Amino acid sequence: MSQASYTAKPAQIIEGQYLDPQKLIRLLEEVYGTSSEGKNNFRVELRLNRYKIYHSQNVTDAGVLTEAQIRDCRAYGRLWD
């Protein structure tokens, strides 16, 4: 079994205030997908109310989440639309 290798610097840092972690993980699974071994192609760290997102080096077309996608993950995001 091979160890997944992630980027050294986070691909994106998102302020975590009012963020629904379950929605964020579902979104990241859609965006980055899973490996052939069934593991996520991303890693998330939560420190000091900030989510640091690292993507697998195997993901060639890795972008960042848009503001609209992040807003949909916020617990209050739907109130403002």
Cα–Cα distance for residue pair 44/65, rounded to 1 Å: 13
Q: Which residue has the higher pLDDT, 64 or 3?
A: 64
Predicted pLDDT of residue 10: 84
Predicted pLDDT of residue 35: 84
- What pTM does this model have? 0.79
Q: How confident is the model at residue 56 (pLDDT cuts 50, 70, 90)?
A: confident
Predicted pLDDT of residue 1: 46
Cα–Cα distance for residue pair 79/49, rounded to 1 Å: 22
The tens digit of pLDDT for each residue in 19-51 reads 999 999 999 999 988 888 888 999 999 999 999
Predicted pLDDT of residue 16: 87
Cα–Cα distance for residue pair 22/29, rounded to 1 Å: 11
